A and B are shown apart, each in its own frame.
Chain A
Amino acid sequence: EAQVTQNPRYLITVTGKKLTVTCSQNMNHEYMSWYRQDPGLGLRQIYYSMNVEVTDKGDVPEGYKVSRKEKRNFPLILESPSPNQTSLYFCASSFQIGGPYEQYFGPGTRLTVT
């Protein structure tokens, strides 16, 4: 089954404790992306990657890192989480960026930073 998986689905952590949210897709997609969703602000893009070793900042990259060492994985790293990073996070992938290509989204990771 074609899917995007994220782990963990729920995470409560404390300020400053480094964490990684994993994202994996099994569709051999070149394009992968991370979004955060906050009430009233819609979906905002954090980082995206057009292929292995190619990453770019989205609209809200501050406080986040990403890496794309393999095609299937695109982890989101919070080196020193802060309470304003409490949010719902979604990973997505598609065959290529933009154009006619459908994006597949993961189930989401709800992060709380205290």
Chain B
Amino acid sequence: DAKTTQPNSMESNEEEPVHLPCNHSTISGTDYIHWYRQLPSQGPEYVIHGLTSNVNNRMASLAIAEDRKSSTLILHRATLRDAAVYYCILGGSGNTPLVFGKGTRLSVIA
């Protein structure tokens, strides 16, 4: 299974942009790149996903490297509510469930 590598933790100041990196050097051509986050005491929630092109939605932006071996989740203005564990996951086209790693714990400082 293609795996992802993320830093264990990151810190950001409130109202600053945050760039959360993810490496997935063994990604296959049909794997989608998903990002989820888990706020304290809650279940994970979907943030964004993409295949090859950069993607934007109301929560975040996803920048995907041209070779697709890495991606970056961008929170444009971090708020205290964005403090969470962020998971980068690959979703393949076969009958393979998403596998959650340990993610990156983002702390936001007021």
Contact = CB atoms under 8 A, between A and B. Distances in A.
Interface of A: 4, 33, 35, 42-45, 48, 50, 58, 90, 92, 97-108
A98 B94 CA distance: 7
Given A98-B96, A108-B41, 19 more contacts: A33-B97, A35-B100, A42-B101, A43-B44, A45-B99, A48-B97, A90-B43, A90-B44, A97-B95, A98-B32, A99-B32, A99-B93, A101-B91, A102-B34, A102-B49, A103-B36, A103-B44, A107-B42, A108-B42
Interface residues of B, number: 25
B51 interface: yes
B16 interface: no
Residue from B36, B95, B101 having most chain A Cβ neighbours under 10 A: B95
Contacts, number: 58
Give the secondary structure class of B's interface: loop
Contact of B95 (A4, A98, A102, A104): A98
A102 B93 contact: no
Contact of A104 (B46, B49, B87, B99): B46
